[in-house]
Each structure stands twice: as C-alpha cells, then as structure tokens.
Structure 1
Amino acid sequence: MKAVRCSNAQLEFVDLPTPIPASGQLLLEVLRCGICGSDLHARQHCDEVADVMAATGYDGFMRADQQVVFGHEICGEVLDHGPRTRKAPRTGTRVVSLPLLRRGAEVHAVGLSESAPGGYAEQMIVEQSLTLPVPNGLSVEAAALTEPMAVAWHAVRRGQVRKRDVAIVIGCGPIGLAVVCMLKARGVRTVIASDYSAGRRALATRCGADIVVDPAQDSPYAAAGGHGHLEKAPDALGLAVSTVEKLYRARLPWWHVWRAADAVGAATPNHPVVFECVGVPGVIDSIIAGAPLFSRVVVVGVCMGTDSIRPAMAINKEIDLRFVLGYTPMEFRDTLHMIADGKVDVSPLITGTVGLGGVANAFDALADPARHAKILIDPKSPQQEV
C-alpha cells in the first residue's frame, strides 16, 4: 500500500505492506485523514515530547530516528475484521475511531507511535471497540474532523463555561477555531476570538465568533468590557469592603448573606474563561497579565519548548489555570453526533485537500496562517498542491 512515513523530520512517500488486524481489530480503507498541528510539531520536536511522555509513564511516543506513519484524524471504510472478531461494523461501513491501538498489553497513540501507524496511508488498523459508524449520511470530510473537534469539546467542558459567561479564544488556528465552534454549540452568548491573521479572524467569524480582535490593534480583554469583570486588584478589594459596608448599614448579618450568596455562586465576581490556543512560549504569561481578575485560563495549545510564568501575577489576580489533553470516549462519541446532527458546522475549517503525494507540500502550506486551517488527505487523490 502507499503511505507517507516520517523519519528524521523527513516525509517520504513509500510502499508498505498492508497491515494485518489482530483479534478485536479492524482493517480500514482510509477515506480522509486530517493533518493535525500535533503532526507538524512531532515532525520537528518529537524527541522533546517523547521525553515528557516517558516522564509521565508512556515510553512509546515516536522518536526522530524511528519510521512513523502520522495521522490520527481519520474517517475510513471497514475492509476486514481480525481473527475471532465480531463482524461489526460490517464490511463497507464508514467509521471513525478513537486513535488508540492495543499491542499486547500496551496501548499506543495512533499516528504518533512506531507501534501504531496512522492514516497517512491507504489502509490502517483500528480497535473495533473504539470504532463508531458515521451516522446520518455525514460526509467523510466532516467525519474526519471528529477527533480535533472532540479535543475542543473537552476543552470547553473543562472550562465549565456557562452560557452567560464571556469566552475569549486566543489564537484562531485549527484548534482555536474548533473551540469557537464548540463554544457556540454549547450556547455561549459572547465569544471573542483574537488572532494576528486577518484570514484566521475571518474564519473565526464564520465559525460563530461574536467579536474578532486583531491583538496588534486592540485588546481581546477590553473587547469584553461591560460584563462586570474586575480589571485591577483595588477593584476587588473595594468591592469586598463596599459590599460588607452596605449590608452593615442595612443592619443585616453580612456573613449570613455572603454565605447564602456563595452557596448559589453569586459571591464570585463575573470573570471570563480564556482559551489559550497558540502554544508559543510567553503566551500563557501574557494572558495572566492581561486577563481580568479571577479569570479561568484553559491551556489548549501545546507549547513545545520551556516556558515561564510569573506566579505572583497569577496569585494576585487569583487566576485559575487549567491544562487539557485529548478527550474521553464519551466526548468523542458525542462530538461525532453533534456534527452529524448539524449542531456544529465544521466546513469553515476545511481549507484544502491533497493526496498522499502532496503531504509534504501541505506541511509547507500550513506554515502560512493566512492560507489554511485544516488540510485533509484523500489517499486516492492525485492532488499534490493546495
């Protein structure tokens, strides 16, 4: 079969043996596979990531000198079932799958491990138990975006964003755009998107952002003005004192009133939920410095290098900092059905398609933020340019 393999940061168009599914696994014909930012990072920085993963207990992440077939955002068609495997989904069924693969007692990340080749190929293997049929006649292009949209859905859920909250998305690359889509699917009324690229700001508008900001000209936090956010430490101190003073003058036991307000979540001042979707050193600290007091910051972007923050700044503003990774199987399944039911429109994210022979060109094209968001691979296509 034809495939694209990465070794020592070089992408090679190669012939490989057709993979053979084991018991409990399926062989798929790859219909579409998304090129993920993780693939771009892994090509250049896989050894750094592998060191971090090994420190957390997983030593199967790819190394630069290994030969790895990327691709974990896939939609495929069932070609065959492994031995002693229930014949479901049936041959010919279009499916998506969580990108995890068993090899004996170990579980590996599909497309990011030498032990689990991914979807930059004509065929690939997936776990039957993690495979879901594509519902409602959903297009293979939209279905292939289930995985990155599930990452965004997990981030939104981890952010505990309420409909009345202001959500601020910093960075409108593919994952930032996906977060915008999922915030609107959740019903969040005010979504602010910030990016230096005019093209990406336009895509954010198409994805449903209510306000788009060029951070070279305006502050995304200033765009959230009028929602009762506290900007400076004296504002919080003044609010606490004035609240007690008002209750004291009214001859009310302020501690009882405060405790009742706290029980229903009314004692904490309004604050935005900020999604960091850039993954570049310095961005987290800049968000901590610029965001209003009590902001919740959800870090979705993957920073490949060492970064630093000023803890005293975060402490004085009481910033809530959260990091996210992946999604749960339920979130993956729910995301697929949200797309299929029309609750999420992923079409603005898809900006190009190439065949396997055009993958290297697609990687180069994705370096230009003004041109592309998500490029899909169609293994049957002769297309080499995007």
Structure 2
Amino acid sequence: MRAVSLTRGLLEVVDLPDPRPGAGQLLVSVERCGICGSDLHSRLHADELADSLDLCGYPRYARSGQQVVLGHEIYGEVADRGPWCAGTLASGTPVVTVPLVRRGRQVDGVGLSAHAPGGFAELVVVQESLTLPVPNGLPADLAALTEPMAVAWHAVNRGEVRRKDVAIVLGCGPVGLAVVSVLKARGVATVIASDYSAGRRALATRCGADVVVDPAVASPWEGAAAGHGFMTTLPDEYNAGIDALEGLARLPVPWWASWRALQVMGATRPKRPVVFECVGVPGMLDGILAAAPLHARVVVVGVCMGTDTLRPSLAVNKELDLRFAVGYTPLEFRDTLHALADGTLDASPLLTGRVGLAGVAGAFAALADPEEHAKILIDPSLATDRIMAP
C-alpha cells in the first residue's frame, strides 16, 4: 500500500506491505484522514511528546528516529477483519474509529506510535470494538471530523458548561473552532472567541461565536466579558460579602441561617466564565491567571510543548479552577458522531482543504499559516499534490 511516513521530520510517500488485522481487529480502507495538531507537533517535537508520555506510563509513543505513519482522524470502509471478531460490521460499511489498537494487554495509539501505523495511508488496522458505523449517510468529509470534534465535546464536558454561562475561547485554530461549535450546539448563550488571525476570527463567526475579538485591538476580558457580573478584584468580592452580611442582618433570623439557605439555593455561587485555552504556547496560562475574573474555570485544551512558568499565587488568590482535557470517552465519541449525523453539530466551517498522499508535506507547510487553512483532510484517492477545496 501507499502511505506517508515520518522519519526525523521528513514526510515522504512510501510503499509499505499491506497491514493485516489481528484478533478483534478490522482492516479499513481509508477514504479520509484529518491532519491534527498532534501530527504537526509530532513532526517537530516527537521526542518531547514521547518523554511526557513515558512519564505517563506509555513508553511507545512515536520518536523522531522511528518510521511512523501518522493519522488518527480516520474515516473509511471495512475491507477485512481478523479472527475473533464479532462480525457486526460487514465489508463495505463506512466507519469511524477511536484510534487505539490492542494486542494482548498492550494498547497503542493509532498514528501516534511506530507500533500502530495510522491513516496517512490507503489501509489501516483498527480495533473492532472501538469502531462505529457512520449513520444517516453522513458525508465522508464531515464523518472524518468525528475524532477532533469529540476532543472538543470532551473539553466542554470537562468545563461543565451550562447554557447560561459565558464561555471564552482563546485561540481559534481547529481545536478552538471545534470548541466554539460544540458550545453553540449545546445551546450556550454567550460564546466569546479571541484570535489574532482575521481568517480564524471569520471562521469562529461561522462556527457560531457571539462575540469575536482581536486581542491586538481589544481585550476579551475587559471588553467582551464585561457586564456579566464577574468579580474582577479582591475588594469587589470583599465589599460584596460585607454588603450581604449587612443586608442579612436586617432579617429577623440569624444571618448565618439565611446565608446557609441561600447557599443551598445556589444564590451565593459567584458568577464566573468558563475559559477554554486552545493556544498551547508558553505564557498563555500565566496570562489567563492574571487576566481572568475571580472564580473563573479554566479548561486547558491546547498542548504547550516543553516547560512553562506560571504564578500559582494568582490562581490561589482568585480561587481559579484549572482543569486539563485530553481525548474523550467512547460514549463522547459516539455522541459526537450522532450529533454530526443528525445535524445538531455543524463542523463544516472547519473544513478548508483536501489533499492526496503526495501533497501531505505541502499541507503541513500550509497549516503553519493561520490565515490559509484550519482543517485539511487527506484523501488517498486523490492523485494530485495540490490542496483542493473541500
């Protein structure tokens, strides 16, 4: 089969033996595979990522000196199956898959390990139990977005966002755009998106963002997020507490009894935004800790390579809630697929190009320009090396 391999930062089209599915595995003919930010990181920072994953107990992540076939945002058709399969997915069934394969008790990330070649190829092996049929005739380009949209679905779940919350999305690359799309699909009333790129701000608007901010011109905190009742200074909060005590003291019951009743009702819960950090560059987290209103909940979705520095005292004094998100559960993956298929989740604004295997290196270069592309899909059937319109 033809595939695109990565070795020491070099992407090249190669001929490899056709993979064979093992026990409980399927062979899938790849029709689309998205290029993910993780793929871009793996090209330049494979060893740093591998060192981090090693500390997490997974020593088999792709390293720069290995030949790796990237690609984990996979859509294709079932071509064959290995032994001990349930057989519920017939040959020719269009499918998407959670990109993990298991041999014995060893689990590897498809497209993120030399031990599990990915979807930048004509064929790929996937785990039958993690593979879902595509419903409702969902077009291939949109079905291929199931995996990255599931990442955003999980991030929004991690944020525990309610419809009346204000959500602030910092960074409108593919991850940020996906988060905006999921937030609006969930009915969140106010979504503020911020990015330096005019092209990405335009895509954020298409994804449904209610307010779009150029941080070089205006602050997403002082401007867009103003007027929502957030506490921005410690004296604000202290004064609010004193005012509440003085008001409750006028009631014919002890103030603590009234306060406790209001607390049960949720009336004492401070107003706060839910912030999604989708940039992943050094300094972002500390900047958020400094600028965010008191009690903000921050969900870190962007992957910062290497080390970073932040001031914990900022988060302590503001009592910020800092969370990190990666991946998704199988249920979140399934729910994302069906939201795409029934039209409640629109991911089409993310699609900006398609390319054949011969054009993958060029697509990686194009994705370095935020004004040019957001999500490029690989279509192994395309013979050209040019990036085509989706």
TM-score norm. by structure 1 comes to 0.99
Is residue 103–residue 115 contact of structure 1 (8 Å, CA) maintained in 2?
Answer: no
1:385 paired residue number = 386
Superposed displacement of residue 333, structure 1 = 0.4
Q: C-alpha deviations, 1:238-266, integer Å up to 9, x for none?
A: 10111011101234322122222222322
Provide, for residues 298-334 of structure 1, a one-character-per-residue CA deviation record: whole Å limited to 9, x for no partner. 0000001201111111111111100011100000000
Give the distance between the partners of 2:110 and 2:63, measured in 1 at CA.
14
CA distance in 2 between counterparts of 1:320 and 1:373 reads 29
Worse-matched range after superposition: 185-194 or 261-270 = 261-270
Q: Secondary structure of the equivalent of 2:64?
A: coil
Structure 1 residue 157: deviation in Å?
0.6
Residue 142 of structure 1 aligns to which amino acid in structure 2? L
Q: Residues 73-112 of structure 1 correspond to what in structure 2 (within 5 A)?
A: 73-112=73-112
- The one-letter code matched in structure 1 to 2:291 is G
Aligned residue number for residue 267 of structure 2: 266
Tell me the distance in 2 between the aligned counterparts of 1:84 and 1:74: 23
For 1:181, the equivalent position in structure 2 comes to 181
State the SS of the aligned residue for 1:157: helix
CA displacement, residues 82-132 of structure 1 (integer Å, 9 cap, x when unaligned) = 123232200000000000011232000110001111000000000000000
Contact 1:295 1:319 in 2 (8 A): yes
Query: Which residue does the alignment assign to 2:22?
Result: 22
Q: Distance in 2 between matches of 1:178 and 1:84?
A: 36
Residue of structure 1 equivalent to 2:9: 9
**Correspondence list, 1:317-336, <5 A:** 317-336=318-337
Structure 2 equivalent of residue 361 of structure 1: 362
1:58-207 pair list within 5 angstroms: 58-207=58-207
| Aligned-pair identity (%) | 63
Match of 2:374 in 1: 373
Instruction: Supply the distance in 2 between the matched residues of 1:121 and 1:185 (Cα, whole angstroms).
Output: 32
Structure 1 residue runs of 4+, over 6 Å off?
A: none
CA RMSD of aligned residues (A): 0.8
Q: Secondary structure at the match of 2:75?
A: strand
Q: Deviations over 1:274-308 (max 9, x none)?
A: 00000000001111111111000000000012011
1:276–1:300 CA contact under 8 A, matched in 2: yes
Query: 3-state SS of the aligned residue for 1:17?
Result: coil
Match of 2:227 in 1: 226
1:3-62 Cα shifts (integer Å, max 9, x gaps): 000011111110000000011110000010000000000111111111111111111111
Instruction: Say if 1:230 and 1:292, in contact at 8 Å, map to a contact too.
Output: yes
Contact 1:192 1:209 in 2 (8 A): yes
Residue ranges of structure 2 left out of the alignment (5+ in a row): none
Question: Letter of the aligned partner of 2:54 in structure 1?
Answer: A
Output the CA distance in 2 between the equivalents of 1:107 and 1:175.
25
Partner of 2:342: 341
Structure 2 CA distance for aligned equivalents of residues 95 and 264 of structure 1: 46
Per-residue CA distance 1:136-187 (angstroms, 9 max, x = gap): 0000110110000000000001101111110000000000000000001111
Moved more, 253-262 or 196-205: 253-262
- 1:27–1:80 Cα contact (<8 Å) kept: yes
What CA distance in whole angstroms lies between the structure 2 residues aligned with 1:261 and 1:384? 63
**Once the 2 structures are TM-superposed, how far is the Cα of residue 383 of structure 1 from its aligned partner?**
2.7
Is the CA contact 1:350–1:375 (under 8 Å) kept in the aligned structure 2? yes
Q: TM-score, normalised by structure 2?
A: 0.98
CA separation in 2, counterparts of 1:266 and 1:143?
Answer: 42
CA distance in 1: counterparts of 2:255 and 2:340, whole angstroms: 48
Q: CA deviation at 1:272?
A: 0.2
Q: In the aligned structure 2, how far is the partner of 1:296 from the partner of 1:84? A: 45
Q: What is the correspondence of 1:249-260 to structure 2 with a 5 Å cutoff?
A: 249-260=250-261
CA contact (8 A) 1:28 1:79 kept: yes
